[in-house]
Structure 1
């Protein structure tokens, strides 16, 4: 049996996070939306405040200076952060990739600890122009040479690489007996000769949150740039993907909750035909469906986190949380606009942003189709199908 009632400690963490979001992030949402830019000086200021509030690197273990929060508490924190503009909350309240915990003591000293302290910023590079969901199809190669490795290839859709200090890079390093590429992960400083960061694509979702194209032109990295074991990059990346899918699910819950709260308030106060519009079944039933689906998604996400804390979570658990929460967000955002009518599409309210931002959640960190494939595979494989 599981009990998701918040402990006193969890309640305190949620209250601190909620206060930070409302006091420090909400006031800057309009600026980021209108300009499409998160000013560097504002990002620096908010990072310092996040560090002071104890919210920075909350996903990292205490042994490296992080908050060491359990998965359930992290979901509660991410849900609160998710209510704010993505550019503001994700860029300024950093969650260094937990894949860095696979590093050697020297790598952790150079990369992990500075990330936790807010002195360095990481980015992850997996996706390529010809390899998205099919990670094994990547073409970026790392070839052994005297003193290290030589890397050549291109990555794209790399989140906030334009402000990162180093990249966690997945590259092909060989071929297995079945002819499939074997992968390894490298830590590459972005000021390394041969590495270039190009402006990425304009995105309808998450204004101010940038993506970039990374080119590696015969880049030499030393032997100690290898993270983990050679050829084990695919498995290592898999440990990271589960955590990020849970994170995506949680932030989707936060935005859906914000849209629902606005909709309930509007339905209770907006008068038409002499009564609040929430009394009409056409609106009231929408609210009922929105809250029912949101609570179902929340339970799936908390259940996956609960299992993660016990070491029993599966890829399917994470996939179910991610696909349900991202699709519920899309539904709630759309219905929220319908309830608000024309004003829902005006930028005086955050609903049109939430609606736009919702679209990417069903694509990144594994599309809804990939999540369903993972779930279906977990059902069929035990039967040999």
Structure 2
């Protein structure tokens, strides 16, 4: 594995960082203070991102994306991750890769409009009673002739308020396994405005202001067979095939924010004077900087190794879980220590540190909690011993 960046990769990093600093940073204060991302601002930045070739860059080249390999894609995600989450996710959208699993007709209706910036998607798995335990979902879809009838509730559904459609996972039966019965899951496309599909405001979140969540309710929502994504009862297979790298995406965006926070801490330690010298000269500060840099490097190496393995076809669940776990926990540590180095100023909203600190909290919960990641890592180790 070569840790150096190719000329193309360096160009993507430089282009993305320049875009983030020029087009996203100036609007962070507005989004943070209002908790709202204006649609006119979204459209303005979206047009610039499309012109710069940064929009939907996660998609393959043959469908209109940038065709980046996983390593390069995560370098791009890391740079975007430096900014307010709502700004970079909404204005420089990366449609869900699961859309690639659609039929040619579904691609025309859902995938390509998302790539062109005409539509947004949202993914609906989580339920009030089933978070990490997706097999415990109660929302269901029952066959009725050639149609399916959907009933149930999903919550914590990110940016569903602006999404034109949802990709919804529903229980469609049970199967017997050596460990007892397990739900069969099917994925469906559900257009906003479909009778029986209602959306209401979600919860106010301490992390990622401007990036909304919603509650999705299904009451005898009738869908045709053509709304199934993939095969009936094969929703987990579709998810596992197309959503595998989302943990690495989380890791990469966390690295970007952690690097930004560390930069503020180093600059402050080199400039701030107390007791007649720069505070970076005190071991209490200098050792913090050393630990922050070391842990950040470890998280980046884990993430880049997993990305490299992903492209080689050798990545394991444990590789991706280690990267996600380490990067999210390092972000929390770096953000906290950066504030400590700044003292009281670190908690003021003149700087982005208090936002990065708040935003870090959700990263250890979504896309699989830290406990779930540790379970995956340890399970892989024990299975190798037959346990």
For normalisation by structure 2, the TM-score amounts to 0.98
**Offset, 1:230:** 1.2
Which of 270, 273, 284 is 1:271 aligned to? 273
Alignment of 1:359-370 (within 5 A): 359-370=361-372
What is the match of residue 131 of structure 1?
130
What is the match of residue 20 of structure 2?
21
Deviations 1:146-201 (A, max 9, x none): 23211111000000000000001110011102321100111111111111110000
What is the match of residue 254 of structure 1?
256
8 Å CA contact retained: 1:140, 1:154? yes
8 Å CA contact retained: 2:101, 2:242? no
8 Å CA contact retained: 2:202, 2:212? yes
d(CA) in 1 for partners of 2:318, 2:287: 31
What is the match of residue 205 of structure 2?
203
SS at match of 2:4: coil
d(CA) in 2 for partners of 1:260, 1:288: 10
d(CA) in 2 for partners of 1:194, 1:4: 51
**Offset, 1:31:** 0.2
RMSD across aligned positions (CA): 0.8
**Offset, 1:314:** 1.1
d(CA) in 1 for partners of 2:228, 2:315: 28
d(CA) in 2 for partners of 1:145, 1:358: 44
d(CA) in 2 for partners of 1:51, 1:191: 28
**Offset, 1:100:** 1.0
Q: Which deviates the most, 365-374 or 240-249?
A: 240-249
d(CA) in 1 for partners of 2:280, 2:5: 30
Alignment of 1:1-385 (within 5 A): 2-178=1-177, 179-385=181-387
**Offset, 1:36:** 0.4
SS at match of 2:194: coil
For normalisation by structure 1, the TM-score amounts to 0.99
8 Å CA contact retained: 1:57, 1:94? yes
Deviations 1:320-373 (A, max 9, x none): 000000000000000000000000000000000000000000000000000000
8 Å CA contact retained: 1:140, 1:152? yes
8 Å CA contact retained: 1:55, 1:93? yes
Deviations 1:266-292 (A, max 9, x none): 000001111110010000000000000
Aligned residues: 384
* Runs of 5+ consecutive residues of structure 2 not aligned to the other structure: none
8 Å CA contact retained: 1:241, 1:365? no
8 Å CA contact retained: 2:31, 2:209? yes
d(CA) in 1 for partners of 2:62, 2:151: 35
d(CA) in 2 for partners of 1:384, 1:190: 47
* Runs of 5+ consecutive residues of structure 1 not aligned to the other structure: none
**Offset, 1:220:** 0.7
